[in-house]
Amino acid sequence: MARRAAARARDDGFADFAARHLLIRDKTGGIVPLKLNAVQRLVHARIVDQRARTGRVRMLVLKARQPGVSTYVEGRFYWLVTRSKGVRAFILTHLRDATEAIFGMVERFHDGNPAEDKPHVGASNAKELYFDETDSGYRVGTAGSRAIGRGYTIQFFHGSEVAHWPNGGAFPAVAHENALDKLTMMVQELSGRLTRSLRFPVSDPVSLSAVTPNAESRANRYLAFDADGAPVATAGPAGDSSIPVSPFMETMLDDPDAATARATLGLGAAAVLGVAAGGSGGLLRADGDASSLVGVWTTGDIKATLRAAAPAGWLMLNGDSIGSAASAADRADDALEPLFTALWDDLADMEAPISGGRGASAAAERAQETQVRMGIGERV
């Protein structure tokens, strides 16, 4: 790589041009040819190599005091401008004295250049050399002016001592406020997204990874957490050691249908039934034994509702009377026998008045077409 860069550097031609055409003032005050020193040769090789690879040059140089980098750049720019048409070089320095010193260096380059290689100067002042025959120019300026460089199309630019450039003028209040408003909105949006995101508490170890498995690993799987609390992808069914449920629920998750799930829960063949002749309604076992159905509505139960009409299997608690189909009750229906019996057996006359007074049994009362009045609505 170094050999290729060196070869390209030799083909560039600037080093030879500088030694034969450009004069500089050395540290002793003498005027001598610009022969590249070690630092300048290194910069030169990097520039030529980058230009050969990319077609352009972009360099940031962190340097010690006065190794000759600025001298190299100004000499190279002079070489490029005087051999090209319609191009401009612009040098921006940090101080007026530095600007004057650099322009003095450029003037020395031009004055020392042999006549046969020296382009005609159409205009010259304290900050610019303009070569009218090639429409090219070389200008210098001092950082600090907001208008510096405006209206000047630049092909070659050198920013000297950039760290020491002054601020470029006032910071407009409108720009300031707009920038802060935009930043505030960005922070608010980010805060909202974070609030709605799944996050680990700050008390968790910093070593705990919050990165989920990749798309291929988590496709068609559930998000779960391993023993350390890190996210994992699990298939879900029993046998997966990372499934986040109890062993009992694992037996539920692998049940193929509702009947198997009811068997796992110990409900047997229980089913939801409506009011039927001779039946009590509600959730009953197929054999009619409801003793094991803890927590299921049974005949005589009461619940609150906002409905205007009773759903199937229920009666509104509106003071209506019930009785057999042959009775004169508000709800004359033989299917209501279980409720009639429950009210007769479990409630006093004050709570469920019986027409004609209470007889020997609920069955006897129904046979005599007796009615019982509901004070409040109940399960039938």
Q: pTM for this structure?
A: 0.43
Q: H/E/C letters for each residue in the chain?
A: CHHHHHHHHHHHCHHHHHHHHCEEECCCCCEEECCCCHHHHHHHHHHHHHHHHHCCCCCCCCCCCCCCHHHHHHHHHHHHHCCCCCCEEEEEECCHHHHHHHHHHHHHHHHHCCHHHCCCCCEECCCEEEECCCCEEEEEEECCCCCCCCCCCCCEEEECCHHHCCCCCCCCHHHHHHHHHHHHHHHHHHHHHHHCCCCCCCCCCCCCCCCCCCHHHHCCCEEEECCCCCEEEECCCCCCCCCCCCHHHHHHHCCCCHHHHHHHHCCCCCEEECCCCCCCCEEECCCCCCCCCCCCCCCCCCCCCCCCCCCCCECCCCCCEEECCCCCCCEECHHHHHHHHHHHHHCCCCCCCECCCCCCCHHHHHHCCCCEECCCCCEC
What is residue 321's predicted lDDT score, i.e. its pLDDT? Answer: 83
From the first residue on, what is the mean pLDDT of each consecutive set of 10 residues in the chain (380 residues)? 50 83 86 90 89 87 80 89 88 83 86 84 79 86 73 82 70 74 92 86 88 89 86 71 66 81 69 35 32 59 77 78 84 84 80 78 75 52
What is residue 284's predicted lDDT score, i.e. its pLDDT? Answer: 26
What is residue 168's predicted lDDT score, i.e. its pLDDT? Answer: 54
In the chain, the domains with their CATH numbers are 2-164 (3.40.50.300), 219-254 (no CATH)
What is residue 84's predicted lDDT score, i.e. its pLDDT? Answer: 87
What is residue 169's predicted lDDT score, i.e. its pLDDT? Answer: 57
What is residue 151's predicted lDDT score, i.e. its pLDDT? Answer: 67
What is residue 287's predicted lDDT score, i.e. its pLDDT? Answer: 32
